[in-house]
Structure 1
C-alpha cells in the first residue's frame, strides 16, 4: 500500500484515539480510588456542599442532581468501562452515531467530575483532558476519512498547550531567561520521580541545555505544526521527545502523556510506515450530517478561542484557565515561577494524652517525600491528588487550604477512606489522640552523602504548620471537631 498523507492522517487518528482512551482509563481509575474520601458525603470537600453553593449554569455537572457516594463511584466505574471499550476499538466497529455517543460518555462524566472537583481537580491536565476528549467525539470511526477540520483543531490545542507553557516561563521567573531554573526544579517540583535525583545532579551546563531545548520546543516548534508535511510531523516528534524527557524527570500526572498523545495525529506520516495498520481502500468521506457537525464545531471553537488567543499575547498571561463552563477551549501553562527551597508539611500523630512526653509517629504518603531513605517513586500517569496538594500546602499556611483542617479531622477520627489515601496507618486502626503538622526543609543528598548514608534526602525542621489538635467530643461522633491545645 502506498503511504499517502491521507493514510498518515488515518493512522495518526487511530493511535491518538487509543492513547486518549488510555488516559481516560487512568483518570477514571484515579476517581474510583479517590473520589469518595475527597469529594464524597463525608469527604474532605463534599460535592453536596459545593453544588448547594454554586449554580448549575456556572459549573454544569451530573452531580448537581446526584451527589451521593454511590453516584460518584458508580459514574467513575462507568467511565472505566467505557474507556476500556474505547481502548480496544469499540467505537470503530459501531455505527457512526453510536461511536460518537461512546466518546461523548467519558467526556460528560469527566467534565462532571472536574466541575465539582474544586481544589482536587484544579489542574491544567484536567481541562486538557476535557478539551481533547470533546474534539475526539467528532473524529469519526475507522471506516471513514478523518475530518481535516478536527485534525486542525487538535493542532490548535497542541499549539496553545506548548506555546502557553513557553510564554508563561519567558514572562515569569528570571531563571528561565538566564537558563538556570533546572538547577532547582528537579529538587523542588511537586512530586519528584525515581530519576529526579540523577537529573538534579546533572552538570549545570547540561541544565542550561535542558532549558534552552525546552524553550525551543515550546516557543518555536508550535508554529511549525501548521507547516506542510513532513515538517509538521517532525516538529510534533521533537515535542513528543521533550515531553518524554519530562516524563522521566518527574511525576506530572498525565499532562505529558496527554501532550504526547496530541502530537500523534500530526505525526501520522511518520508513524504509518512503522505500524501494521492501513485504512479501507478507498477511504470514504464522513457522511453529510457529520460534516455539518464538524463545521458547527469549528464555529464554536473559533468563537471560544478569542479569549485564550488574546491571553497568549497578554502581558499578564493567565495559565490553566477555563473561559466557558464546558471547558471547550482553555489556556495552559505551568511553572512560571520556580521554588528554590523545598518545604514539606510533615503530619504526625500520637496516642498519648500528655503532649510533654508524647511519642509522635509520622503519616507516610504514597508519593510525596517523607522518609529520607525512601527513593522517590514513579506514580505518573496516575495522579495522587492529596500528595500534590500537600506540596501546595507547604507553600502557604495550611489553614488557608480549605481541605487541610478536614484532613486532620479525618485522621483524628481514624477515617479509613482517608487513611486509604496514605501509605499505611501508623496506628494500625487505633485513633490518635493528637495530630500536628510541621514544616521541614528538604534537599537532595549530595553524591557523597548518598554514598555514606544511602539516603535520597536531607531534611531539617523549620517550624510548625499546625499546632497539636485533638477532637472535641460532643453529643455524637459526627459532631466532633478538632481543637487546639
Structure 2
C-alpha cells in the first residue's frame, strides 16, 4: 500500500473539525438540557456512592467529578468542558503543532465526560462513533511533527516511521464495521420495507429532520427508490470487504462509493456531524499517490516498468475486472434487475429468502474476521520490515519501543472490537475467543469499541407520527408551541441544520413513536414549560418573542399526536399535510395530581429544587461567553434556520425537478 502521510493529516484535521462541531452544538444546549432548570439536570447523574475517588472515576469516567473543586455545579462544569473542547478542537483543526496525541486525548476525555451525564440526549450511535474515533486518533497522531524528508533521512525510509501507519489501519477496520453492520441489520431486522426494497419511499418523509431536498427525493418514481435501496445494499454490504483489497484501485473505488452515499444522505437529511465523521473515516482508504503527495511518481514508474511488473499489473487488472463483474452479476442475480426499455424503468425485487440470507451471513461473518486478522498481520509485517530498514542502533531502539507499544495497542483494540462486531451474527459471537470477551468487558464503559447498525427498521409507514405541544391559559383555547426544527407548521419548509444536532427535536421524534411513558423526560419538559423556564424555552425557540407564552407561562399544557405526510406537487404554500390521531399527553397544570404522579413515577419530583455550588477559581470563566451566544442553537454560524412560510415552496421546484 502506498504511503498514507497526507491521508493521516486529513484524518487528524477532519476529526478535530468534527469534535469542534460536536462540542459547539452541545454547548448551546446545555442550560436547557442539563442545567438546574433544564429537562434532565446533569447533577443527578453524579452522586457520590461512598466509594474511593479512583474507583468512582473508573466506574463513571468523567472529569465532571472535579467540578465542585472549581466551585462549579455539574452543568457549569459541562459547559466549561464543552467550551474548552470547542476551542481546543478549533486549534487542532487550524494549527499543525496542536495535532498531538495529548490534545486528542483531552478531546476524547472531555466528550466521554459529557456522555457520562448526557443521559438520553447523548445516547446516539454517532456519539459512540465519535468516542471510538476519538480514541483511535490518539494513537494515529504523531508525537512530534517532523518534515517528511527529515524522517526519511534519519530513518532510511520512504517517508514513514515503522509504527506510523499501523494504528491508521484501525480506522479502516472501524469504517468496515460501521458500514457492513449497517447494511446487514437492515435485513436481519426482517423489516418488510427493506426486504421489499420500498424503504426509501418512506425514509425521506419519516426521517427525524428532513431537508428541503428530501421533499424532492420523496417524489421520485418508486422504481428509482427501489433501485436506490439495491445500491445501498451494494455499498454497505458488498463493497466494504474491498477496504482491505491489495489492489489500490479497488480501495479507491470503494472510497468513492462511500463518499457518494454519505453526500446523498447529507443532502436529504439533517444527521448532524455523523456523515461528516463517516467521510473523515474514509480517508483511511486513500494514499499519498492518489492525493498528489508524490507528483509524477506514476509516470516515472511507467517509464521504467519491467516485464515482471507489467505481468503483475495485467493480472491485477484482470482480477479487478473480475471483482467488478462478480459484484455486477451478484447484484443482478440477488435483486432480479430487469430493464424495461419501453417504460424506461428498472424493475427490481429481492430474490433470496431470510433463511438464505441468515445462512450466508453465518458463512461470511467469521471469514470477515479472518480477513481483518490477515490484513492486520500484513500491516504488522510491513511495519516490522520498515523497522529493519532503520539505520543506527539508537533510532532502531526507539523505533522498536514505539512499534511494540503501538503494535500491542492496535492488536488489543482489534480484539476488543471483535465482540461488538460479532453481534451481527450470534453464532459467530459465541465462537469468539473468550479472552476477547473478557478484554471487551473490562473496558466496555470507556466505549473504545461499539456495535453499529443504522436505519434498522423504517418507522411511520402510515405517515410520520409527530407530537405537537399546546398551551392554554383557560383550558379551552389552545395555542400550538412550534419548534425551530422539527415539523409543525405545515407551511414551513424543513430546515438545514447540519452539523448541529438539536437534541430535543430529535428526542421529540423518538417520543412520537410510542406512548409518553416510554419517554420519561417528556414529563419534565412539560413541567419546565409550565414553570416558564427560559433555558428550556430557548431549545424550542431561540428567539424568545416567537414563543407564544414568552410573557407569561401557560396555565395548562398538553400534547397531541398527528400523522404528517409530505405535500403533493402543486399544493401551494404547503410542505406537509397532517391528520390528528390521538391525545399524546393529557392537559395538566402545576400541582395537577396526574403531573405529580408522573414526576414521582419517573423520579423527577426534586427537579424544582436547586442547589448552588460554592464559588471557586473557575466560576467566572463560565458565564462570560454565554450572553454572546444567547443559548440559542440557531445562533451557530453554520445553521440555516427555517425560512418563513412562502419564501420557498416545493411546488415552485416540482416541475423542473420532476423526473421524466
Task: Give, in whole Å, the separation in 2 of the partners of 1:84 and 1:238.
Answer: 29
1:151 has 2:157 as partner: no
Task: Give, in whole Å, the separation in 2 of the partners of 1:139 and 1:176.
Answer: 37
Give the secondary-structure state (helix, strand or coil) at the position aligned to 2:220.
Answer: coil
1:28 has 2:47 as partner: no
Which one of 452, 458, 473 corresponds to residue 332 of structure 1?
452
1:105 has 2:106 as partner: yes
Task: Give, in whole Å, the separation in 2 of the partners of 1:191 and 1:395.
Answer: 15
The two structures, once aligned, show a CA RMSD in angstroms of: 2.8
Give the secondary-structure state (helix, strand or coil) at the position aligned to 2:540.
Answer: coil
Task: Give, in whole Å, the separation in 1 of the partners of 2:233 and 2:83.
Answer: 40
Question: 1:271 and 1:457, CA in 2 relative to 1: closer, same or farther beyond 3 A?
Answer: farther
Larger RCO (CA within 8 A; separation ≥ 6): 2
Matched with 1:298 is: 410
Q: Normalising by structure 1, what TM-score?
A: 0.87
Task: Give, in whole Å, the separation in 2 of the partners of 1:316 and 1:259.
Answer: 26
Give the secondary-structure state (helix, strand or coil) at the position aligned to 2:227.
Answer: helix
Cα distance, 1:271 vs. partner? 4.8
Per-residue Cα deviation, 1:216-243 (whole angstroms, up to 9, x for no partner): 1100111000012132122122111111
Task: Give, in whole Å, the separation in 1 of the partners of 2:581 and 2:555.
Answer: 24
Question: 1:42 and 1:290, CA in 2 relative to 1: closer, same or farther beyond 3 A?
Answer: farther
Cα distance, 1:293 vs. partner? 3.2
Task: Give, in whole Å, the separation in 1 of the partners of 2:499 and 2:232.
Answer: 21
Matched with 1:42 is: 37
Matched with 2:616 is: none
Which one of 230, 235, 242 corresponds to residue 224 of structure 1?
242
Matched with 1:170 is: 187
Matched with 2:46 is: 51
Matched with 2:276 is: 257
Cα distance, 1:86 vs. partner? 0.5
Contact map agreement 1:41 1:68 (CA 8 A) in 2 = no
Task: Give, in whole Å, the separation in 2 of the partners of 1:460 and 1:188.
Answer: 15
Give the secondary-structure state (helix, strand or coil) at the position aligned to 1:441.
Answer: strand
Flag structure 1 segments of 5+ consecutive residues without an equivalent: 481-485
Cα distance, 1:445 vs. partner? 0.7
Matched with 2:119 is: 118
Question: 1:425 and 1:93, CA in 2 relative to 1: closer, same or farther beyond 3 A?
Answer: same
Cα distance, 1:411 vs. partner? 0.7
Q: How does 1:85-484 map to 2 (within 5 A)?
A: 85-89=91-95, 92-93=96-97, 99-141=100-142, 142-143=145-146, 145=160, 147-172=164-189, 173-228=191-246, 229-269=248-288, 271-273=290-292, 287-314=399-426, 324-339=444-459, 340=461, 341-350=463-472, 352-353=473-474, 355=475, 358-423=476-541, 424-449=546-571, 453-472=572-591, 478=608
Cα distance, 1:56 vs. partner? 4.6
Give the secondary-structure state (helix, strand or coil) at the position aligned to 1:169.
Answer: helix
Give the secondary-structure state (helix, strand or coil) at the position aligned to 1:421.
Answer: helix
Task: Give, in whole Å, the separation in 2 of the partners of 1:292 and 1:41.
Answer: 48
Cα distance, 1:419 vs. partner? 0.7
Q: How does 1:63-102 map to 2 (within 5 A)?
A: 63-66=64-67, 67-89=73-95, 92-93=96-97, 99-102=100-103
Give the secondary-structure state (helix, strand or coil) at the position aligned to 2:212.
Answer: coil
Task: Give, in whole Å, the separation in 2 of the partners of 1:289 and 1:429.
Answer: 66
Deviates more, 1:428-437 or 1:192-201: 428-437
Cα distance, 1:275 vs. partner? 10
Task: Give, in whole Å, the separation in 2 of the partners of 1:477 and 1:155.
Answer: 45
Task: Give, in whole Å, the separation in 2 of the partners of 1:292 and 1:49.
Answer: 43
Flag structure 2 segments of 5+ consecutive residues without an equivalent: 50-55, 68-72, 152-159, 298-389, 430-439, 597-605, 611-660
Question: 1:316 and 1:205, CA in 2 relative to 1: closer, same or farther beyond 3 A?
Answer: farther
Contact map agreement 2:5 2:288 (CA 8 A) in 1 = no
Aligned length: 454
Matched with 1:60 is: 61
Cα distance, 1:52 vs. partner? 2.5
Q: Normalising by structure 2, what TM-score?
A: 0.65
Deviates more, 1:381-390 or 1:231-240: 231-240
Task: Give, in whole Å, the separation in 1 of the partners of 2:206 and 2:289.
Answer: 36
Matched with 2:617 is: none
Give the secondary-structure state (helix, strand or coil) at the position aligned to 2:588.
Answer: strand
Matched with 1:483 is: none
Contact map agreement 2:43 2:75 (CA 8 A) in 1 = no
Contact map agreement 1:36 1:43 (CA 8 A) in 2 = yes
Question: 1:140 and 1:274, CA in 2 relative to 1: closer, same or farther beyond 3 A?
Answer: closer
Task: Give, in whole Å, the separation in 1 of the partners of 2:449 and 2:112.
Answer: 13
Cα distance, 1:58 vs. partner? 4.0
Cα distance, 1:288 vs. partner? 4.8
Cα distance, 1:429 vs. partner? 3.3
Give the secondary-structure state (helix, strand or coil) at the position aligned to 2:139.
Answer: coil
Task: Give, in whole Å, the separation in 2 of the partners of 1:206 and 1:275.
Answer: 41
Give the secondary-structure state (helix, strand or coil) at the position aligned to 1:462.
Answer: strand
Cα distance, 1:270 vs. partner? 6.5
Task: Give, in whole Å, the separation in 2 of the partners of 1:414 and 1:466.
Answer: 18
Per-residue Cα deviation, 1:251-283 (whole angstroms, up to 9, x for no partner): 11211111111001312347512899x9xxxx9
Larger radius of gyration: 2
Per-residue Cα deviation, 1:406-448 (whole angstroms, up to 9, x for no partner): 1111111111111111124212232111111000110001113
Task: Give, in whole Å, the separation in 1 of the partners of 2:607 and 2:132.
Answer: 43
Contact map agreement 1:349 1:361 (CA 8 A) in 2 = yes
Task: Give, in whole Å, the separation in 1 of the partners of 2:540 and 2:421.
Answer: 40
Task: Give, in whole Å, the separation in 2 of the partners of 1:224 and 1:261.
Answer: 18
Contact map agreement 1:12 1:271 (CA 8 A) in 2 = no
Task: Give, in whole Å, the separation in 2 of the partners of 1:429 and 1:22.
Answer: 39
Contact map agreement 1:442 1:458 (CA 8 A) in 2 = yes
